[in-house]
């Protein structure tokens, strides 16, 4: 009895540590992408701490809510944030195991993130403003298209490792070494497109837009202010970091710590930060070299990703 309890206790402690760590780093990633984008446009860009300043500013302000909004509006950002935080405990970051990997794997991860998104979309409809409805409608449309492609890409990787659990998936990939299997490349390309769609980056959505009619995610959270908005922004940053970490885990887990030795952890930290940075650069370059697609062109992009994932799956069976 006692060993089980201490094991559960250790898992939860580990989960708390990892969630806190990712929460702390996420705003930095967002600002880093902004900064790199600015440098590509020959601008100076914001200081690296800007993400934290913004969050601190929003948290200090008073929340403004519509007088027709119900509890759904209040619950939206909170559930979204909670979903993002709990999703962090399902993904291995520095060690080749996720803190709460006995709770579930890929399906739970996708489901948890979908729940947060659903709550936010419902909350956006709550104020009765047309912009909220428009944003929710568009966000749900893209989610409905992107999620099958995301699942298919994840399943392809899971098929290679023979497990839906992210922890054992990473361990198997690590043991197998780098195989340069063609299906890995296809699945990676497919998932990269989906990560861009899910995090609201440029070919799909413009995170920096101030024009209501082109907004997708931003229109959905237009009615939020103060701490409510801070929660949404923070959770979005965590989600983005989580998706990039997921790509790193699935395709290049090399460098991740297999023991709790301090040296291994430091190496894993550096490797993880480097890999996420490289992916962030790829996102930045994609965002800087592409124009935003019309909403009705997005399905084409997603179907490319779906096609790539299908091909990857087919090659895996050959």
Partner 1 sequence: MLGVLAAGTMIERWAWWSVRRVATWGCGGELSSRTEYTATAFSKPLTMIFRAIYRPTRQVETLAEVSPYFTQEVRYRSEIEPTFERYVYGPLLRGVLRVANGMKVLQAGSLHAYLAYVLVLGVLLLVWLGGTK
Q: Is 307 in the site for partner 1 (CB under 8 A)?
A: no
To the nearest whole angstrom, how small is the minimum distance from the Cβ of residue 39 to partner 1?
Answer: 35
Among 65, 209, 252, 281, binds partner 1 (CB under 8 A): 65
Among 78, 189, 269, 277, binds partner 1 (CB under 8 A): 78
Contact 274, 229 (CB under 8 A): no
186 is a site residue for partner 1 (CB under 8 A): no
How far is CA 247 from its chain centroid?
10
> Residue 24, interface with partner 1 (CB under 8 A)?
no
Distance from C-alpha of 308 to C-alpha of 22, rounded to nearest angstrom: 30
**Those residues with Cβ within 8 angstroms of residue 152's Cβ, 6 or more apart along the chain or in another chain:** 190, 306, 309, 310, 313
Phi-psi region of 62 (alpha: psi -120 to 50; beta: other; left: phi over 0): beta
Distance CA(196)–CA(186), nearest Å, equals 16
The binding track of 139-158 with respect to partner 1, each residue x by CB under 8 A or -, is -xx--xx-------------
CA–CA distance, 187 with 95 (Å, rounded to integer)? 23
Please report whether residue 122 would count as binding partner 1 according to CB under 8 A.
Answer: no
Q: Pick the piece of the chain touching partner 1 (CB under 8 A) from 148-156, 169-177, 198-206, 294-302.
A: 294-302
| Binding flag, residue 292, partner 1 (CB under 8 A) | no
188 within 8 A of 247, measured Cβ to Cβ: yes
Alpha carbon distance 228, 77 (integer Å): 6
Judged by CB under 8 A, which of 18, 31, 32, 86 binds partner 1?
86
Which chain residues interact with partner 1 by CB under 8 A? 61-69, 78-79, 81-83, 85-86, 112, 125, 127-130, 132-134, 136-138, 140-141, 144-145, 223, 226-227, 295-296, 299
């Amino acid at each position: 009895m006692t060993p089980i309890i201490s094991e559960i206790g250790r898992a939860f402690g580990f989960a708390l540590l990892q969630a806190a760590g990712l929460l702390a780093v996420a705003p930095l990633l967002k600002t880093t992408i902004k900064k790199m984008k600015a440098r590509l446009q020959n601008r100076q860009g914001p200081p690296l701490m800007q993400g934290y300043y913004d969050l601190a500013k929003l948290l200090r302000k008073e929340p403004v809510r519509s007088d027709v909004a119900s509890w759904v509006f209040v619950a939206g950002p909170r559930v979204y944030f909670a979903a993002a935080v709990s999703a962090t405990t399902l993904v291995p970051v520095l060690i080749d195991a996720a803190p709460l990997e006995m709770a579930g794997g890929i399906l739970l991860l996708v489901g948890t993130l979908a729940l947060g998104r659903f709550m936010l979309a419902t909350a956006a409809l709550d104020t009765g403003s047309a912009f909220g409805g428009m944003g929710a409608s568009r966000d749900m449309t893209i989610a409905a298209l992107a999620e099958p492609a995301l699942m298919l890409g994840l399943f392809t990787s899971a098929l290679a490792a023979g497990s839906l659990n992210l922890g054992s998936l990473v361990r198997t990939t690590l043991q197998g070494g780098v195989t340069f299997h063609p299906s890995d490349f296809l699945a990676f390309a497919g998932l990269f497109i989906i990560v861009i769609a899910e995090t609201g980056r440029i070919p799909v959505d413009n995170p920096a837009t101030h024009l209501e009619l082109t907004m997708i995610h931003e229109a959905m959270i237009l009615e939020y202010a103060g701490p409510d908005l801070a929660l949404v922004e923070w959770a979005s940053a965590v989600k983005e970091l989580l998706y990039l970490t997921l790509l790193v885990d699935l395709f290049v887990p090399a460098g991740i710590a297999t023991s709790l030795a301090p040296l291994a952890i430091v190496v894993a930290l550096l490797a993880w930060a480097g890999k996420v940075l490289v992916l962030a650069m790829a996102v930045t370059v994609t965002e800087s070299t592409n124009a935003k697609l019309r909403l009705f062109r997005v399905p084409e992009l997603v179907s490319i990703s779906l096609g790539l994932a299908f091909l990857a799956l087919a090659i895996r069976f050959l």
